[in-house]
Structure 1
Amino acid sequence: MSEQNEVKSCIGCLYYYVTWDVKNPKGCKYFGFKSKQMPCLVVYKSAGAYCNMYTPKNDTQKGGL
């Protein structure tokens, strides 16, 4: 598989977020949805193509200490 076609985890993506919704704890701000699964898997299953909107967060956007 080429690097372009690899599924990238949503962790570390600018658009990924964790919701307060117990039934749908993972969300994608770019596509505007919440789900039980990682958003990149939902995009692949529904569109038949890998999500190419992965945008890494910079140091000021990362959570943590």
Structure 2
Amino acid sequence: MAVNCFKCRHFFTTWDARHPRGCKAYGFKTQELPSALVKRSSGMECLKFEPKQEEGHKR
């Protein structure tokens, strides 16, 4: 099953039109979803995925 970056706490949107998506865990910006780049580069699913904290829930 593919990792959904939009549900990951490390995902962020940038102001860079050429690289609009980023991953804080791996420290890069990309045009595609970070999980797709990780999969293509390493052959493995993203190992840094952490679900976002839901609104109103504290850990």
- Give the shorter-chain TM-score range: 0.7 to 0.9
**Count of equivalent residues:** 55
* Structure 2 counterparts to residues 11-50 of structure 1, below 5 A: 11-50=6-45
**Percentage of matched positions with identical amino acids:** 35
Poorly superposed stretches of 4+, deviation over 2 Å: none
2-structure distance, mates of 1:50, 1:12: 15
Unaligned 5+ runs, structure 2: none
Cα offsets for 1:9-63 (capped at 9, x unmatched): 1011000000000000000000000000000000000011111211011124xxx
List gaps (5 residues or longer) in structure 1.
1-5, 61-65
